Amino acid sequence: MSSWRGFYLVYVDEYGNTGSNLADPGQPIFQYFAAVIPSDRWRSVEAKMLQLLKVIKDELPPAARDSFELHGADFFSPRNSLLSGISLELRARIANLVAQIYVGSGAKFFSVYIVKEWLAETIRLYSLVNKLPETDLRALLSPNVLAFSHLVSRLEHHFNATGTKGIVLIDEQEEFGFLNLLEAYEVMRSNGQLVGLIERPLAVDSKHHVLMQGTDVLGYLYGRHLSRRRREGEIEERYKETIKLISERIEETPAVFLDQQGSVILSEAVQKNLAQLGSDVDVDVENVSASVQIGLFIAAIRERFSKEKKKG
């Protein structure tokens, strides 16, 4: 058992996928959420989650029990959900129990999110200064690949800093497509950037992996929390205690990537300044790579954009 200490299973799920539509007011962010579970506590977490799942199934109609699995979206769907017969208060209690099980295992959480309007503005400016069609750039600068690449970078940084190792498991139903994410991962791996993360990400069927289901629930809740916060609101009162539990164990990172290889990360501060076309660029070095190149790159974009405005 001791040989497994220092090794982690990383369950990853998405929130807010609207494809190339970056203007959906109901889903202003795209997020990848990761739950990092110590491998020597994995069996205990799984056993507790299976026990919870059995209790929930016992409340469902017999015909629905075999196909049932936990999905975060179902906690907020009044209709067309297998949870529709369960009260809102009980749904909130279930979500809180999931969070307690994960936190009790020593799990750590990661949230990497992209504010879609920032990405849309980045694409607009890049299109303007490089005379490229926005439609082509939207296909190139996919929120899914960009956020996943940044998540992998943050996980790698964590494992290197703690002298540990981990492997990523991701839902094979991931809407954007597992192969696209795998390609982004392979680029980072071939560049020698990945040491703490071993092997390639594994695609798993959430129906048969209850920890992926739990990650879906917690990731959906946290993504909803971020979306509400973005609109200067708050998540429903009954879920605030669960958000508090997650927040005490999470590393949250806003991120946007901006070059044709998807390798340059712009921090939140850079995005705000870029939109305002100010004279100084404040780069959060901890959350970016190649910070000097980023500064030069952004300065060049802003200079060219200013010239375009004057010509207009």
The domain limits of the chain are 2-115+143-256
Q: Note whether 75 and 217 are within 8 A (CB).
A: yes
Contacts of 62 (CB under 8 A, 6+ apart): none
Torsion, Cα of 8, 11, 16, 20 (10° steps): 90
Selection from 121, 148, 152, 170 nearest residue 12 by Cα: 170
The confidence score (pLDDT) of residue 190 equals: 80
The confidence score (pLDDT) of residue 293 equals: 38
Selection from 56, 26, 194 nearest residue 116 by Cα: 26
Would you give per-residue pLDDT tens digits along the chain (312 residues)?
344 579 999 999 999 988 878 888 888 999 999 999 999 999 999 999 999 999 998 888 888 888 889 999 999 876 657 787 788 899 999 999 999 999 999 999 999 998 888 788 777 776 776 677 777 777 767 888 888 888 998 999 999 999 999 999 998 865 557 777 888 788 788 878 889 999 999 999 999 999 999 999 999 999 999 999 988 889 999 999 999 999 999 999 887 544 333 334 444 434 444 444 333 334 343 443 333 334 444 444 445 445 544 555
The confidence score (pLDDT) of residue 176 equals: 57
pTM listed for this prediction: 0.81
The confidence score (pLDDT) of residue 267 equals: 40
